[in-house]
Each structure stands twice: as structure tokens, then as C-alpha cells.
Chain A
Amino acid sequence: MRSHRVSLGGAALALVLALSASPLVAAESGTPDTAKRIKVAMVPKLVGLSVFKANEDGAKAEAAKLNIDFLYTGPVTASAQGQVDAFNSLIARKFDVITTTSNNPTQLAPSLMRAMKAGIKVVAYDSDVAPAARDFFIQNTAYPAFGKALVESVIKYAGPNAKIAILSSTPDATIQNEWIGAVKTYLAATYPKVEIVATEYGQSSPSQSLTAGLNILQAHPDVTGIIAPDGAAVVGAAAAIEKLGKTGKVFTTGASNPDAVRQYVKSGVIKETPLWDEVKEGQLVMYVARLAANGALKDNDTFTAPGLGTYEVKDKVIVFSEPLIFDASNIDQYKF
């Protein structure tokens, strides 16, 4: 994990630009062939969400370096139909690469397969589509690593004998369930005395998550940690802890962009909370898009992206990074 000591997101970008321009970094990697200008689109689950905006910021900066015509487009609400509309228009406009994070894996597949048939490369990131409907997938972090990060950022403060609760989004949310599975596996192996006494769902809504958080704390006064691996859930859990005056006695952690949890990290309700660097992930998406368009990336491969690091492609899947832990000392470096 890299940690650039900078104070602003914009400055972080500038630093990355500077790093990649330095001959030392460029020398250790094969710079991709950028002679031909290509058109690459980034289609998020919906436009206007700050984490996706952070991806866009990174992608835009990287696109400028890689001779890419960059377009950020997507539906206003998180709908698969809206994403398919976007794909269809991109196919008609003969884009070279479509990158997307999917609202659901199956519904997008036929449209993306049409795109692949038309010679368009498809790169999924963040949330995968059906494997047959994309050329490469960039996974945020490996599930076991994220599960470990979630556990450590609570147990370090609540202790190895704590009673904890889980506050998730919905019972059928794929990523959340994978993370909760990883949390349980890691707990069983490392902290067998930690007991999960309750699992609640906040439906990805801040107010419902707050209610669920209050329910947990009132029904189980002995709970000292809440693992809330969802952007709304961690905010709800933190607000519930603060509301009941349990700051410093109960600790929570989750998967949220720093902007949403900044106040709770500063007030100490959240000691540590893991995510990944969305700006850099956007950069990597563009780098992979360039390689894919050049036909320079195999299903199993390794490559070095200047300023980002060396990555392994394993069966078309690229794991982006280790979790990035936000705490009171570093959270102000990240603005998204």
C-alpha cells in the first residue's frame, strides 16, 4: 500500500502524474503503445455518486496521458436498463473500450456481448458482470484481505473477547455477503473468542441503518463493536453510537468513502475504516483499457503501470490493491 503525504485530492493526482513522468518509474515498465487515439467510456452504476466521481477523476487524468478520448456516462438512478441504454449508444458510436461497474451481473451481459462481437473491449471494475461478457475485471481488493481489515479495525480497540454485531445493506448484496463471509472466516481463525451476537440490515439507507444501529445497541448493551461493511450502514452505526453516548465504548468500522465518515473518524467513533483508493483505481481502469485496446494483455499476465505498481492478471481478473485504512491521521488526505 502506498501512502502519499499530500493534503488535497488534486495534489495527489499531480503527484501521481509527476511520479509517472519521472524516468525512474517509466524505465521499469513497458510504456504501452499510445500512437493510436482511442475512445474509452466509463459507465458507473449511476452518475453523481462521490466514489464513482473519484474513479472518474483518476480515469480522466490517466486518459490524458494515454492518448484516450474519455467519456463518463451512465444512468441517473442505479438501473441496469439505463446502463444497457448507455452501452447501446456506445456501440453505435463505435467506442474502442467500454469500462463499467455493473448494477447486476446478468442483465448487462447480452448488451456487453454485442459490444464484444462488434470488436469493443470490455473492462469491468468494482462490481463484476458475468465473466463471458467482459475481457477483464478489476477487483477492488481481495475478499479475505478486506475481511481481515474490517475485523482488525474494530477488534484492535474492542479487544479479542468482544461481543460484536454486523450491520449490512441487504440480505442478498453480493459484495457485502462475500465480505461478511471473509470476516467470519478470519474471526474463527484469529479471534475465536469474538462472538457475533446480532446481524441487522439497513437497506443501504442512512435512516434505516441508524434505526438498525440503535436496535443493536439497545437490544445488546454488551456489544462493543459493530462491523458495517456498507457506506450507509457504517454511517448509521456511527450515528447510533454517538446518539446513545457510547463513543469510546463501542467502535464501528465499514466500507465508506472518507467524505461520509470524516466527522466520525475525527470524533473517535470510528478508529479505522478500510476502503481502497478510488482515484487510483480509476487510473488503473484506464491503463487496463489502453492495454486491452492494444491487444497487449493476455488472460494470465503481469504488467507494471507507471505510478500504480505491478499487477498480476489471473484468469482475466486483476486485484487492484490491498485495503487502504483511513484513520484520524490520514483521512484528510483523501477527498472523495
Chain B
Amino acid sequence: MDMRAPANANAVTPRNRRRLPVGGWELALTGLLAAVVVGFGAAAPGFYTGPASLLGLTENFLPFGLVALGLSLVILTGGIDLSVGAVASLSAVLAAQLWSRFGVDIWAAAAVGVALGGVLGLVNAGVILRLGIEPLIATLGTSFLYGSAAVAAAGAEPPSGFPGGFTALGTGTVDGVLPASLAGLVPIQLVVFAAFAVLFSALVARSPFGRVLVMVGYSPDAARYSGIRTGRVLVTAYAVSGAMASLAGLVLASYYDAVRPDMGDVLLLTAITMVVLGGVSIFGGEGTVAGVVVSVLVLGFLRQGMLIAGFSDMVTTMLTGAILLASIAVKNLFNRRGTGLANQIWAMIRRPEPPRANPS
């Protein structure tokens, strides 16, 4: 069976090609990551001043990565969650208020915050499934609700100045567990992100849930007719996305040692960019967590490198947009679903007879 030669332009390629967590796209991204890190290391003084400083840079962007991991599940189902920023803000603000107003232990409050994020995700899924509202509109609506609730909960002077142990989550390094020579080297954020990256990768690529998730995204009707409870899959995806957004919000709270009702707003667009650049199709059913993880590192180090090299925020943001468009254009060009331009040209070259040989 030769998969590179579709019988007609609309042929659906079997999905198992995507089962492996690493493919051509992921390898290409990894190459890009190496180029970014080595390039800035050589060209931008201050980017690499030792392994600790390089790893320390990840603290500045891994909250985006946590959101991207959760969001990738939702996008794999063919949906979208525009409420992640507001969920992050609301959970962080409420956790901080529990700590500051009600004297709840900060870690217990943080756990409540993450659980709340899961509940907010459930609400999203409920709005989408029960009210039959498109995910784009549904989560846009809930993002306004959650965002306003965060503003109301934050009050005029949102809490700041958390206990030292909690601020370590955002800015501390793993010490004690590792050999003494590695003390001060590995940020706690990086360990948290790596753990979730492995978990999510295994979940999507190796578990039955992952297979069902991708099926629902690839063809919801086919999945439903095969007896899959698609509703349940969606509920899980949105709940996980909400919980991960909350976790990111709490890491940000720790990093800034403060909460603000608008602190999550910056997360959304960058996280979507990371997921899509990671190779997850915005239409669902296609992509890997490994790709998203590498894309998080590519965009994160790129931004940090650009800033350290002295480029303004404006140029950095522009370049991110350009890279996204260019990479997706390249990807679409070689899209094997048959709609890619390169594929169509290839199909024409291969078959001299006109493609509409069989009009019905």
C-alpha cells in the first residue's frame, strides 16, 4: 500500500501514521530549536552564561507551555478554549484571596484553585454540549464571565507577597533531591512542565483515551457511529484544559509574587500559537504532544533570545507571527490529506490524464 499516492484528491489518509509521538514535523521543530539556542548563544551576549542561566530562562515562558499542553487536548478534538486566560486569572485570584482573607494555607488554596479550573472547564463543556453552542462562541462568552468574576474577586488591592515556599514554584530551583553539583540548576517550573509533558504525551499517543480523542477530532460523526461517547471525551478535554490553565495561573502568581485580574490575558494567543506551531491541526484530529512541547521551547527561547539581543517587544511579536504563518504554510504545502498545494501539483504530474476523468 502506497500512502503517498492518494487515489483521489479527497482521500482520507489512515490515522495510524500519527500514532508515533515523533514525526517529520517534530524533527524539523527540534532542528529549529537547536538553531535558535545555538544561534542566540553565539550571537547574543547574556543569552548563555552557563547552563543555569539557560535553564533559568525557561521560567519566563513555561506558564505558556502548561496552558498549551491542556489546550492541545481541546484543539485535538477540533474545539477551542478561549477562556484559558480568564480561567488562569480567576483561579489565581481566588486562591490568593482564600490565602489572604481566610487564612487558608497557600498550598491548599492553590489546590483549590486548580480544582476550580477543572470545574470552570466542565462549565465550558456543559455550555458547548447542553446548549449546543460552538466552542469558539461558548468559551468566548465564558471568558468574559470568568474575567469579570476575576476583576470582582480581586478588588482594588489584589493580594501579593506570598510565603517563600510558594514563590519557589515560579522562581525556585530543585535542590536537595539532585546531587549537590546540580543545586541551583534546574528550575522547579521546568520539572513541573516536563512531568506534565511526559504525562500528556503518553495520554495522547499511547492510551485508549488518546485514540478516542483524536478520532473525535478527526471525524466526530464517525466516532459517534462507532459507539464512542463523544460527549464524555469533550468534557474531559475541557476540564483538563481548565485545570492546566489554573495551574499556569498559579505558577504566574508565584512568579510575580502577586495576582492581578488580567494576569492571564497574555496566555491565550501565545498558547494557541504554540499548539498550532507544534503541528496540531486547528481542525482537530491531527498532531502530537511532543510537537507542542518542542514548539513551546522554540517560541519561548526565541522570544527570550530576541529580547536579550536587544530587539523590542514589537519586533519579537512580529517575528512570532511571521514564523507561525511561514511554518503553517510549509506544513500545508506538504499536507498529506490531499489539500496541500505540493500534493496537488504532484498528483497532476503523476497523472497526465485530467483529474476529472470520472464525472458523476
Contacts and interface: CB of A to CB of B under 8 A. Distances in A.
Given A75-B313, A81-B266, A85-B60, A172 B156 contact: yes
A106 B307 contact: no
Interface stretch (A86-94, A244-252, A269-277, A311-319): A86-94
B304 interface: yes
Contacts of A89: 46, 304, 307-308, 310
A80 interface: yes
Interface stretch (B27-35, B108-116, B223-231, B251-259): B251-259
A304 interface: no
Contacts of A79: 265-266
B303 A93 contact: no
A82 B46 contact: no
B258 A88 contact: no
Contacts of B49: 92
A107 interface: yes
A38 interface: no
Contacts of B263: 80-81, 107
Contacts of B256: 80, 84, 106-107, 109-110
Contacts of A109: 160, 256-258
Contacts of B265: 79
A85 B314 contact: no
Contacts of A47: 312-314
The interface centre, meaning the residue of A73, A75, A86, A107 with most chain B CB atoms within 10 A of its CB, is A107
Interface string B260-275: 1001011000000000
B260 A110 contact: no
Contacts, number: 73
Interface in A49-83: 71, 73-76, 79-82
A205 interface: no
A84 B256 CA distance: 9
A127 interface: no
A204 interface: no
Interface residues of B, number: 29
Given A76-B314, A88-B60, A92-B47, A104 B308 contact: no
Interface string B230-263: 0000000000000000000000000111101001
Given A88-B60, A92-B46, A92-B53, A106 B310 contact: no
Interface residues on A, range: 20 to 34
Nearest to B59: A88
Given A93-B308, A106-B160, A109-B160, A85 B313 contact: yes
B254 to A, nearest CB: 9
A267 to B, nearest CB: 36
A109 B171 CA distance: 13
B54 to A, nearest CB: 11
B13 interface: no
B321 interface: no
Contact of B260 (A74, A80, A130): A80
Given A81-B266, A92-B53, A71 B258 contact: no
B159 to A, nearest CB: 9
Interface string B261-301: 00101100000000000000000000000000000000000
A85 B156 contact: no
A213 B176 CA distance: 62
Nearest to B309: A89
B182 to A, nearest CB: 21
Interface in A2-21: none
Contact of A86 (B156, B158, B313): B313
Given A81-B266, A92-B46, A73 B257 contact: no
B317 interface: yes
Nearest to A172: B156
A92 B60 CA distance: 13
B355 interface: no
B308 A107 contact: no
A104 B313 contact: no
A109 B49 CA distance: 24
B167 interface: yes
B158 A106 contact: yes
Interface in A99-121: 104, 106-107, 109-110
Interface string B308-338: 1010111001000000000000000000000
A76 B317 contact: yes
Contacts of A86: 307, 313
B163 interface: no
B39 interface: no
A84 B167 CA distance: 16
B313 A92 contact: no
Interface string B44-83: 0111010001000000100000000000000000000000
A107 B317 CA distance: 21
B283 to A, nearest CB: 30
Contacts of A85: 60, 303, 307, 313
Contacts of A84: 60, 256
A82 B313 contact: yes
Contacts of B60: 84-85, 88
Interface of A: 47, 71, 73-76, 79-82, 84-86, 88-89, 92-94, 104, 106-107, 109-110, 130, 172
8 contacts: A47-B312, A79-B266, A80-B260, A84-B256, A85-B60, A88-B304, A92-B47, A110-B255
Given A89-B46, A93-B45, A107-B260, 5 more contacts: A76-B312, A76-B317, A88-B60, A93-B310, A106-B257
Interface of B: 45-47, 49, 53, 60, 156, 158, 160-161, 167, 171, 255-258, 260, 263, 265-266, 303-304, 307-308, 310, 312-314, 317
